[in-house]
Structure 1
Amino acid sequence: MSLTDEERERLADVVRLQPTKNGELQERWGLDSGSEVHHYLEDHLGDYYYRDDNSLIRATDEAAEVTGAEPAVEGDGDGDGDGVPDRIRVPELQAQIFAVLAGPDERSQSVVSTLQSVRDAYDVDPSAEDVRSALQALRRKNVVEVIYRTVPTFRLAVDRDAVDVVATD
């Protein structure tokens, strides 16, 4: 299957963002709805993606070969099937959050607390929504977990040194 330049670039987005959701691709591609994303994937990239057991969008191995894009998630830790990756490639904000977020044995943090930690550690001022979105993306990569208290709170699901985090921005 021959891909246009747009299809190849969008497929590279799927490779780099996986596991991902329609909404994340909708925002990235400037589409009007998740339904448009679904139709685009089916009509243009059907041979190169699939949905996992949690309905998250993932690229096939062939997609990474075709695009030359680096997958967002590599490996499965020590191969024990726990789903914890060896390496993740993430945008800078996600890497910063991973560096400052409470560890697995610490009290989980709210989005606002995480935002403040990022502001204190780095010379950045992301929005609370950007932090929330980044936390959810890290959650989909199995390196952050949600603890439900009065508000949803977050902490690392793995030891910080168990995953090599590569910032892509």
Structure 2
Amino acid sequence: MTDGDLTDEERERLGDVVALQPTKNSELADRWGLEGGSEVHSYLENHLKDYYFRDENSLIRATEEAAEISGVDPGISENDDGSRVVRVPDLQYHVLRVLADEDEEPQSVVGVLQAVRALDEGLDPDNDGIREALRSLANKGVVEKVQLTVPTYRLAMSRDDLQVERLDD
């Protein structure tokens, strides 16, 4: 398959893989409006097989060619000064806004949920949505999971070293 053979939908979804990487089937299912991970896996295998791979943690990543074809910036990139740029969907963007800094006490999923709801921006995520957002951000390396009796989270780096860009839905 050459990039000229991709349909508009395939090209758009390839851009999602590039922008959200590293990602999981469930995150792409939500983004694409599919029923679940098996539909995503099937789509990837049938339409984008040459443009993605799974890393050692089974997370979905785009090939370099995929980034070139899609014209989309990768989900994470490093600046020359060592700071990091992360491109995330809306809920993850708001989670990063409220999450404890790297040198502060970590927050529980419920604490993050309450803080996101307190932003007063009409957001009403549930525990599962916040938990999945935190896991995805941890997979991207910008959030650390602090293992206590109840898992808690905080930024894995200084807020000053992190630039967050919200992806359009």
Q: TM-score range by the shorter chain?
A: 0.7 to 0.9
Match of 2:87 in 1: 89
Amino acid at match of 1:13: D
Aligned residues: 164
Relative to 1, partners in 2 of residues 1:147 and 1:121: Cα closer, same or farther, differing over 3 Å?
same
- Partner secondary structure for residue 16 of structure 2: helix
Further displaced range: 154-163 or 23-32: 23-32
Mean Cα deviation higher: 117-126 or 139-148: 117-126
What do the CA deviations read for 1:75-129 (whole angstroms, capped 9, x no partner)? 28867xxxxx710111233222212211122211111111222233443332223
- Could you tell me which amino acid in structure 2 is paired with residue 139 of structure 1? A
Secondary structure of the corresponding residue to residue 6 of structure 1: helix
Q: Counterpart amino acid of 1:4?
A: T
Mean Cα displacement is larger for which, 95-104 or 6-15? Answer: 95-104
Distance 1:106 1:116 in 2: 17
> 1:3 offset after TM fit, Å?
0.5
Q: Which moved more, 1:142-151 or 1:153-162?
A: 142-151
Identify which of 106, 111, 125 aligns with 1:127: 125
Distance in 1 between residues matched to 2:118 and 2:136, nearest whole Å: 22
Match of 1:82 in 2: none
Query: Offset at 1:132?
Result: 1.9
**Which of 93, 97, 100 is equivalent to 2:98?**
100
**How far is the alpha carbon of 1:45 from its aligned partner?**
0.8
Kept in 1: contact 2:106–2:154 (CA 8 A):
yes
> 2:24 is matched with which residue?
21
In the alignment, which of 113, 117, 125 is matched to residue 111 of structure 2? 113
| 2:149 counterpart residue number | 150
RMSD: 2.0
Cα distance between partner residues in 2 of 1:77 and 1:164: 13
TM-score w.r.t. length of structure 2: 0.86
Matched-pair identity in %: 55
Secondary structure, in 3 states, of the residue corresponding to 2:86? strand
SS in 1 for 2:53: strand
TM-score scaled by structure 1?
Answer: 0.86
Shift of 1:73: 0.9
Q: Secondary structure at the match of 1:88?
A: strand
Q: Structure 1 residue runs of 4+, over 3 Å off?
A: 76-79
Secondary structure of the 2:164 match is: strand
Q: Which deviations, in whole Å up to 9, do the C-alpha atoms of 1:127-169 show, x marking residues without a partner?
A: 2232222212211110101122232211111111111111224
